[in-house]
Amino acid sequence: DGGITQSPKYLFRKEGQNVTLSCEQNLNHDAMYWYRQDPGQGLRLIYYSQIVNDFQKGDIAEGYSVSREKKESFPLTVTSAQKNPTAFYLCASRAGAGHEQYFGPGTRLTVT
Amino acid sequence: GENVEQHPSTLSVQEGDSAVIKCTYSDSASNYFPWYKQELGKRPQLIIDIRSNVGEKKDQRIAVTLNKTAKHFSLHITETQPEDSAVYFCAARLPGGGADGLTFGKGTHLIIQP
Mean pLDDT calculated for residue range B83-111: 87
Q: How far is A97 from chain B (nearest CA, A)?
A: 7
Check residue B98 and give its pLDDT. 59
Q: How far, in Å, CA of A31 to CA of A26, rounded?
A: 12
Interval B46-59 mean pLDDT: 94
Task: Report how far residue B7's alpha carbon sits from residue A104's, in angstroms, rounded to the nearest whole number.
Answer: 26
Per-residue H/E/C for A31-66: EEEEEEEECCCEEEEEEEEEECCEEEECCCCCCEEE
Q: Does B99 touch chain A (CB under 8 A)?
A: yes
Please count the residue pairs, one from chain A and one from chain B, whose beta carbons lie less than 8 angstroms apart: 51
CA-based end-to-end distance of chain A: 32
Contacts of A50 in chain B (CB under 8 A): 98-99
Answer yes or no: do B99 and A33 touch at CB < 8 A: yes
B106 or A1: which leads in pLDDT = B106
Subunit contact B89:A103, Cβ cutoff 8 A: no
Q: What is the pLDDT of residue A40?
A: 77
* pLDDT above 60: residue A1: no
**A56 inside 8 A of chain B by CB:** yes
Q: Is B100 on the interface with A (CB under 8 A)?
A: yes
**8 Å CB contact of B32 and A98:** yes
Task: Give pLDDT, residue B97.
Answer: 58
pLDDT given for residue B58 in this prediction:
97
Within 8 A by CB and 6+ apart from A88, the residues are A36, A37, A38, A106, A107, A108, A109
How many CB atoms are located within 10 Å of the residue B84 CB?
A: 18
More confident site: A39 or A99? A39
Q: Residue A41 pLDDT > 70, yes or no?
A: yes
Nearest-angstrom CA–CA distance, A100 and A95: 8
Distance CA B87, CA B7 (A): 12
pLDDT by residue (tens digit) across B64-74? Answer: 999 999 999 99
What is the rounded CA–CA span in Å between residue A73 and residue A77? 13
The arithmetic mean of pLDDT across residues B34-45, rounded, is 93
Q: Given CB atoms, is A48 within the 8 Å cutoff of chain B?
A: yes
Contact between chains at B43 and A43 (C-beta distance less than 8 A): no
